[in-house]
């Protein structure tokens, strides 16, 4: 595991933070947290955990997160694993550094629903461990794994389009970025870049993706811009 400096690109940068983020460049779960840290203007040290090399199973990392997944946030003596838990921790500790949830309770519920569709109905079915299991137990044909991932991504995207059609503005639940957007942006990015999903079927999500691509806090969190991306080592 390697460490690199990271910095928030949101407004109102918070100084003298000692945050460490254990992350992997293409992990959509880590991507969510990087976006939040950027919006909240929180500096952090980037600690790379290479999922493809199995570094998440190293005893050193298992001590931080027994489930062996990224991301993990270390804040002094506090260790928080799982992207949603980390986001809620950041929201509780730094509520005034760009709120991740709207005040309106109904809009909050929509944000929770959208985040849950991504985190429970899509992402677990496309993750490295799942596709590796398919490769070992069902078929080593790359087309089989791709079709599997695409099926569940599209199914989830259909649900998201239906859920958000009456709430979306510039972003998922209005004209401000909230929790739902932090889950949607990484998932849409992965659908396009890793799983070749035809986004013409999903006009609302495509429009949101265009909006995300205009904002530095999203762009700076992109997998391609992380210190452990293969593109970084090749440049």
Cβ atoms 189, 31 nearer than 8 A = yes
Distances from the Cα of 233 to the Cα of 28, 166, 189, 225, angstroms: 20, 44, 21, 11
* Coil/strand/helix, residue 100: coil
Residues in the chain: 235
What is the C-alpha to C-alpha distance for residues 202 and 200, in angstroms, rounded to an integer? 5
Name the residue among 168, 185, 164, 166 with its Cα closest to residue 176. Answer: 168
What is the chain's pLDDT, residue by residue, as a tens digit (235 residues)? 656 656 555 444 444 558 999 999 999 999 999 999 999 999 999 999 999 999 999 999 999 999 999 999 999 999 999 999 999 999 999 998 999 999 999 999 999 999 999 999 998 777 776 767 777 788 787 878 888 889 999 999 999 999 999 999 999 999 999 999 999 999 999 999 999 999 999 999 999 999 999 999 999 999 999 999 997 554 4
Q: What is the pLDDT of residue 162?
A: 98
Consecutive H or E run containing 74: strand 72-75
Q: What is the pLDDT of residue 125?
A: 72
Q: What is the pTM of this model?
A: 0.89
Q: What is the pLDDT of residue 9?
A: 52
Beta bridge partners of 6: 44
What is the C-alpha to C-alpha distance for residues 67 and 69, in angstroms, rounded to an integer? 6
Q: What is the pLDDT of residue 148?
A: 82
Structure tokens at 172: 């998922």
Sheet with 42-48: strands ordered across: 2-6, 42-48, 14-23, 72-75, 78-81
Structure tokens at 154: 């599209």
What is the C-alpha to C-alpha distance for residues 183 and 36, in angstroms, rounded to an integer? 10
Buried b (16+ CB within 10 A) or exposed e, 73-103: bbbeeeebbbbbebbebbbeebeebbbbbbe
Please, what sign has the CA dihedral across residues 109, 179, 161, 196? negative
């Amino acid at each position: 595991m390697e460490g690199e400096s990271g910095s928030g690109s949101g407004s109102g940068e918070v100084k003298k933070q000692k945050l460490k983020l254990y992350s992997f460049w293409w992990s959509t779960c880590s991507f969510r947290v990087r976006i939040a840290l950027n919006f909240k203007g929180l500096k952090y040290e980037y600690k790379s955990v290479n999922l493809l090399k199995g570094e998440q199973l190293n005893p050193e990392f298992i001590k931080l997160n027994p489930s062996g997944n990224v991301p993990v946030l270390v804040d002094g003596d506090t260790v928080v694993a799982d992207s949603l838990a980390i986001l809620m921790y950041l929201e509780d500790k730094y509520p005034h550094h760009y709120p991740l949830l709207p005040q309106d309770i109904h809009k909050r519920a929509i944000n929770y629903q959208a985040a849950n569709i991504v985190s429970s109905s899509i992402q677990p079915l496309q993750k490295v461990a799942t596709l590796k299991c398919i490769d070992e137990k069902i078929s080593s044909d790359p087309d089989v794994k791709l079709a599997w991932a695409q099926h569940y991504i599209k199914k989830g995207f259909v649900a998201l389009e239906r859920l958000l059609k009456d709430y979306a503005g510039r972003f998922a639940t209005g004209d401000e970025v909230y929790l739902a957007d932090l889950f949607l942006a990484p998932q849409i990015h992965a659908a396009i870049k890793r799983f070749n999903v035809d986004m013409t079927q999903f006009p609302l999500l495509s429009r949101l993706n265009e909006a995300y691509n205009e904002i530095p806090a999203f762009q700076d969190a992109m997998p391609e811009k992380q210190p452990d991306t293969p593109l970084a080592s090749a440049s």
